[in-house]
Amino acid sequence: MNFAKDPSVRKNNPGRIGPMLALVLLVTLLLGCNRDPQKFIDKGNLSFQQGKYPEALIFYGRAAQLNPRLPEAHYKLAQTHLRMKSWPAAHAELQRTVELQPENWQAQLDLGRLELVGGKAQDARDRSQLILKSNPSSADAQLLLADSDAALGNLTAAIEEANAAIAMAPDRAASYLNLAQLQTRNGDTKGAEANMLKAQSLDPKSTVPYMLLGAFYFHLKRISEAEKQFQSAIAVAPEDPAPRAALAGMYSSQNEDGKAEQVLTDAKNQLSSNPAAYRLLGDSYLAQGKIDKALAEFSSLSAQYPNDSSVQKTYIQLLVLKNRLDEAASLNEALLSKTHSDPDVLVQKGQIQLLQQKPDAAFSTLQSALSIAPNNAIGHYQLGLALAAKGNPQQAEKEWRQAVRIRPAYPEAWLALAKRASQKSDWRELEDMSDQLKKFAPRSSEGYLFHATARINQGDPLGAEADLLNLQRIAPDSPMYYAKMGDLRMAQRKPDEAESFFRQALQRDSANIEAIVGIIRVDLNKNKIADATKLIQDQIRKNPDNASLYLVQGELQIQTKQFPEAEISLTRVLELEKSSVAAMLRLAQLNAAKGQFDKSVSYYQNASELSPHDARILISLGEVFEQAGNWQQAQATYQKALTISAENPIASNNLAYLLLEHGGSPSVALTLAQTARRGLPNVPNSADTLGWAYYNNGAYSVAAPLFEEAIKAIPNNQTYRLHLGMTYQKLSDDARAKAEFEKVIALNPSSPIADQARRLL
């Protein structure tokens, strides 16, 4: 099209309607002609019948927009949400429906059922009575009343009400099944069995009576009868995988694994187009913890069903679990090319990158996943792991908290939060986190261990012991109970009992490091240094290639001021385990204490190469550079630490002080010092640094209270008093300035700081 020939393009023509404006008007006219909500309800009904529930929601939602007080639109929305298992949305729409149309008894019934499932049994009971008041012969309302009373603990009344429901509709199988379940709870097994059989006779083509009766017989250990019921359910509905899964589950519980596998293999072969069926065998292996068998099964399924993304994702996770990371990464990339921006696949990619020690790449990948699906709990959890690996534990904690906000039943995220609380020595928070861990992973030993640790440190030994007894119940053969009981007895100042527990832990695991360390603590507590030394030497003789034992020996030698011997032990650790960061850090500290700064720097640099995202190592390295008088290298090292952990208070504090002492920007130093003070609000050094930054920015009246606070905590610190005296001088308070300078001199007359105070006097 030649736009140059169109006069409307070349000049303003108020009499002409452009093509875009015409299109807008046409759309507006069409929309105006279609403002009948019933038309949208009809379209929604068609989509609903076809199982296109998201599409039905759009049509019903449009009808509700056109007439917000139309009960039918809200009820249709509720029914669609129920099909999609969107319970909160369904509840809201049902409430709106009954507000607009209280006599919609089916909506009232649906709402009552949701209330019952949601734990609001009294509300459900009240609603059932409301329905029965106008519809006294409603068997459904009568059953809701019975179930509500059962939930409220009124089992006798519930059984009477269930019998009344049967009297109202004697030909309904569901009523007999409902009564049977109540009778089972009440211990009336004969009555329950009779009613289940009655339900079967009324509805012989439904699998439900067979499944319930099979479960009932299994509970009573009438295994052969249970088997017949599950087999009958399979015969009634051969395309339904649920009865096959139930039969296989029963066989597994009876240790008849061969029979169980055969049932599930048949399901896979006979229902090969049903994902729920062909996954049964692999999922069964997973549930039983048979990882190798699950891996082989999902490998086969992955090849057979290359377009089933769910199968591919499970197979990739199994490869990750077996540490076959390159294969997992390759398959994940192939899946990503098919699914494009599937957030679950992106999260899996980030997880694999983390395990490949690529936290920066993982961080970027996981951020991309969360930009698409911000409520992906696993994404937030993995992003937290990436941030922790990058040396940013504060941000990691925020991500883990977001993960459990989205998915409260997320044990791995609660465990990460518990570990973080333990690192911070925040025992109250650790108790809260471990409470959640116990709630959502009741068979997890970590929950009880952390809870016991929190209680020990909060002075509650009885509570800690109760936790540890639960730990013993869960894992009776584990040395953890005995090692932790030893810790508890040490906290209670009962070293003899502590030693007994530590030795019981060693009986169960002769190389248990916690128990060995525990016994050494007992010996040191009793000043039996020779016994502690002999214990670790004996352990090393038994296990001469165990690097952890040499590390413990090195720590013992540092404790007993045997520094040359400690250096030999820690060097041996590195001979056995070249990547031991713990040994490198200890050697770096020993050499710094001896004034051998070059060796100390070398150890810190090697440790930093192995843990490149740990800002704490860089901070220690910067402090050694400061001790060596190399402030330029110290400054560069602190800056590098802040690129890893931007809010790190120690790096911020140290860098701020260096800038102030060596001609750096006072405004930049002030920003850094404020960051440090936020992170270290109760540390005198951060108060002094922030005060010095304010001083160098001319804010003397703001600086003085900070120096006063630092001195209150450490009265004999010369630097703090010098800074306060200088500040008083600037505030023209000469008497107080003179007093501070004189105190500085009195504390250590021969120090350089004292010389500076004399000059100022």
**pLDDT tens digit string along 205-218?**
999 999 999 999 99
Instruction: Answer whether residue 20 shows pLDDT above 60.
Output: no
Tell me which residue of 352, 384, 383, 389 sits closest to 368, measured CA to CA: 383
Q: What is the pLDDT of residue 19?
A: 40
**pLDDT tens digit string along 303-333?**
999 999 999 999 999 999 999 999 999 999 9
Q: What is the DSSP letter of 233?
A: H
What type of residue sits at position 194?
Answer: A
Taking the C-alpha atoms of residue 452 and residue 458, their distance in angstroms, rounded to an integer, is 10
H-helix segments, 84-185 = 87-100, 105-117, 121-134, 139-151, 155-168, 173-185
Taking the C-alpha atoms of residue 80 and residue 361, their distance in angstroms, rounded to an integer, is 41
> pTM of the full predicted structure?
0.67
Instruction: Answer whether residue 56 shows pLDDT above 50.
Output: yes
Taking the C-alpha atoms of residue 445 and residue 506, their distance in angstroms, rounded to an integer, is 19
- Token output for 105: 């008894």
Instruction: Answer whether residue 498 shows pLDDT above 70.
Output: yes
Stretch 750-757: mean pLDDT, rounded? 94
Tell me if domain 587-646 and domain 657-761 are identical in fold.
Answer: yes
Q: What is the pLDDT of residue 2?
A: 37
Angle (deg, nearest 10), helices 71-83 and 53-66: 160
User: With the C-alpha atoms ordered 514, 516, 521, 526, is the resulting torsion angle positive or negative?
Assistant: positive
Count the Cβ atoms, other than its own, within 10 Å of residue 338: 12
Q: Where are the domains of the chain?
A: 587-646, 657-761
**pLDDT tens digit string along 424-459?**
889 999 999 999 999 999 888 899 999 999 998 998
Q: What is the pLDDT of residue 16?
A: 37
Q: What is the DSSP letter of 205?
A: T
- 414 and 401 in contact (C-beta within 8 Å)? no
- Which architecture, in CATH terms, is 587-646? Alpha Horseshoe (1.25)
Tell me which residue of 594, 590, 584, 591 sits closest to 616, measured CA to CA: 584
Q: What is the pLDDT of residue 4?
A: 36
Stretch 739-760: mean pLDDT, rounded? 94
Instruction: Answer whether residue 26 shows pLDDT above 80.
Output: no
Instruction: Answer whether residue 342 shows pLDDT above 80.
Output: yes
String of DSSP letters for 476-497? TT-THHHHHHHHHHHHTT-HHH
Work out the pLDDT band at 390, boundaries 50, 70, 90: confident
Stretch 486-510: mean pLDDT, rounded? 92
Stretch 343-371: mean pLDDT, rounded? 95
229 burial (CB, 10 Å; 0-12 / 13-18 / 19+) is buried
- Token output for 8: 């409307």
14 or 677: which carries more pLDDT confidence?
677
Judged by DSSP in three states, 15 sits in coil
Q: What is the pLDDT of residue 597?
A: 96
Least trusted range by pLDDT, from 251-255, 440-444, 573-577, 733-737:
440-444
Q: What is the pLDDT of residue 429?
A: 95
Taking the C-alpha atoms of residue 404 and residue 435, their distance in angstroms, rounded to an integer, is 13
String of DSSP letters for 382-410? HHHHHHHHTT-HHHHHHHHHHHHHH-S--
Q: Which fold has domain 657-761?
A: 1.25.40
Q: What is the pLDDT of residue 443?
A: 85
Work out the pLDDT band at 612, boundaries 50, 70, 90: confident
H-helix segments, 273-308 = 275-278, 280-287, 291-304
Q: What is the pLDDT of residue 34?
A: 57
Quote the mean pLDDT of the chain.
Answer: 91
**pLDDT tens digit string along 531-549?**
999 999 999 999 999 999 9
User: Cβ contacts of residue 294 below 8 Å, gap of 6+?
Assistant: 282, 285, 286, 318
Stretch 25-50: mean pLDDT, rounded? 71
**pLDDT tens digit string along 89-139?**
999 999 999 999 999 999 999 999 999 999 999 999 999 999 999 999 999
Instruction: Answer whether residue 37 shows pLDDT above 80.
Output: yes
476 burial (CB, 10 Å; 0-12 / 13-18 / 19+) is exposed
Stretch 32-56: mean pLDDT, rounded? 85
- 298 and 315 in contact (C-beta within 8 Å)? yes
Q: What is the pLDDT of residue 106?
A: 95
**pLDDT tens digit string along 457-478?**
998 989 999 999 998 888 888 8
643 or 8: which carries more pLDDT confidence?
643
Q: What is the pLDDT of residue 746?
A: 95
Stretch 173-185: mean pLDDT, rounded? 93
